Structure 1
């Protein structure tokens, strides 16, 4: 009777959302000569890094676990032969995995960065939510973090942007959704290539993710992705990593919970759609309590425009139908909902007048 378990599942999902948002998952594609290490590895700490890997690759993985507020929940490592001509085998495997960010090999070149960016775009076009950190990749995409800092000094070693993409992905994955990674410190880094403030501002405005030395320590400039072109569906706020993280989590939560607990399990009647809407509203309410959504601004209901378009495509004359008629109409196995939410942004720009 009714749809009680839908409501329970959404409440459970919402309760787990804040816990999940504390730690993300990073996928790393490596090239290594060690034949015994090739294939997929699932790591939850640095002690699980395959011993057969080369030292530089081990260090590349280790940096991922440095994280920020937390280390990543886990790191997926797919090892290709060092002679691999492309990353296709790794990307094909990762298409069956769930993760937040994917990074290329330690020395990721322009062709490999393009291959990863194209793969991420294709996955997102299919409703999935992977993102990537790539070196010097101005992709104009909310799913691509364009890391451009060079001269990264750690101890006696110096890294370019590609060698530190895993570290940046781990830092972002270790940033809770309730805060931003802006000004996140990288305590192991002693120096980076210095830029004037005007040049740093210009880089950030171009959608570059940079780290800089503030005269005391090295830290993140601003938590932005490479998105440059905004539109009514994807405004300026989508240039911020924090916002995209929250949108992706919410979209995925709703889709997966509805698929697992509603689609194919209940008659797609108007009453059952209303129960599904009520369950999603409860999910939003919990995210408001958790500080991810702005309280009192979330809503969800039947998308009458999409529903009417479906009816018309099925040959139904909708000219005489009321809005309520359209809401209650039979839509076969399709569910058309429309939600409105306001994600709480982290405080980043503060103007203070100080009189001393």
Structure 2
């Protein structure tokens, strides 16, 4: 008889942790394009050679820019083809059934369509537990899920790009940024120039939630990996302005939710021992992320949420005033499991101060 270990829930969480690391190396981009005629509506592309040859040169180039990526190219690019006058709702209905990280409008998208995507993203994240995000041109969205690309004067030699035309490039760049680092100062080596901002204007743009480019005298690069969030509230502070941090939060939330749904809910009795099993499994998942430099080592904790558990018991008419902490932990909570956790997501090195004494 083989050596017994913990039930599969722990294995599933360890697998989720390993998959999270792999996922962090590559992401998925969703693009909308417009073609006058196309017999096929949706495409799943894993490299540039798969781009249909009958697309317009502009659309082929738009997709190709997404595949440039950063450290890695995106894992795949989902493309939905709209007709010349088709509403983007058709594409959004399709993408609601897909898994992806960042979505972009067609390069000819309007400000009204950008606002529609913003609203759709907010609804999907709030009501459907989606982790969708978007790269949109010049949209003041004040949202951690919207990247407000606000670069101007984008040039590749004699070729000039609109901000909208370059959204696919930035979606691919962010999707191809490993979770351990940020896209701040990521070089855009194909570009030869941009509208150059003073340091004061650049600082103001970043503070306003704008994703901009800078020219350091020899090359064009991303200024800072920020999203459009500017209004902070309790529970959503300044760290939510960082693309890297939001990526990690989204990944962790999704991995825990899906693994619980697939491997825990309905499959175990709600005993104290099985609650501890779930705690141990989630802790193991966090430890995978610690080992791979996404979370700070030794900072992750998972435990029964005593405050919420006691509130639940009191609502059931149970007098908890004479119960010990352990008795509250072990109390029957029906079908509810009340857990709490603390983690520390590692940021990237972006601000360096050096004091040199001479």
TM-score per shorter chain, which class?
over 0.9
Residue aligning to 2:13: 10
The separation in 2 between residues aligned to 1:2 and 1:333, in whole angstroms, is 25
Please say if residues 69 and 176 of structure 2, whose CA atoms lie closer than 8 Å, have aligned partners that are also in contact.
yes
Q: Choose the corresponding residue for 1:157, options 148, 156, 159.
A: 159
Return the offset for 1:319. Answer: 5.3
1:6–1:261 CA contact under 8 A, matched in 2: yes
Residue 122 of structure 1 aligns to a residue in which SS? Answer: helix
- Is residue 34–residue 53 contact of structure 1 (8 Å, CA) maintained in 2? no
Which of 36, 47, 69 aligns to 1:33? It is: 36
Contact map agreement 1:175 1:181 (CA 8 A) in 2 = yes
Any conservation in 2 of the 1:3–1:272 contact (CA below 8 Å)? Answer: no
- The answer to whether the aligner puts 1:166 opposite 2:168 as a matched pair is yes
String of CA shifts for 1:127-164, please: whole Å, max 9, x gaps.
22111111111111111111001111123321121111
Contact 1:2 1:272 in 2 (8 A): no
Correspondence list, 1:174-253, <5 A: 174-253=176-255
The Cα offsets for residues 249-280 of structure 1, whole Å up to 9 and x where unpaired, read as 11111111111111111112221111010011
Superimposed CA distance per residue, residues 263-309 of structure 1 (whole angstroms, 9 cap, x where no aligned partner): 11111222111101001111111111111110111001122333344
Give a deviation string over 1:89-145, Cα, whole Å, max 9, x none: 111111111111111111221111111111111111122211111111111111111
Q: Structure 2 residue aligned with 1:22, among 20, 25, 28? A: 25
Residue 123 of structure 2 corresponds to which residue in structure 1? 122
Match of 2:88 in 1: 87
- Choose 218-227 or 11-20, whichever is displaced more: 11-20
1:51 partnered with 2:58: no
Q: Using the alignment, how far apart are the partners of 1:326 and 1:30 within structure 2?
A: 56
- What is the TM-score of this pair, normalised by structure 2? 0.94
List alignment gaps of at least 5 residues for structure 1: none
Distance 1:317 1:141, change over 3 A: farther
CA contact (8 A) 1:13 1:253 kept: yes
Q: CA RMSD in A?
A: 1.8
Shift of 1:331: 3.2
The secondary structure found in structure 2 opposite 1:75 is strand
Query: Counterparts of 1:202-351 in structure 2 under 5 Å?
Result: 202-312=204-314, 318=320, 321-351=323-353
Q: Secondary structure at the match of 1:344?
A: coil
Separation (CA, whole Å) in 2 of partners of 1:121 and 1:139 = 10
Name the residue aligned to 2:142. 140
2 CA distance for matches of 1:323 and 1:55? 67
Q: For the residues of structure 2 that align with 1:158 and 1:309, how far apart are their CA atoms?
A: 61
Structure 2 distance, partners of 1:125, 1:318, is 34
Correspondence list, 1:58-97, <5 A? 58-84=60-86, 86-97=87-98
Q: TM-score, normalised by structure 1?
A: 0.94
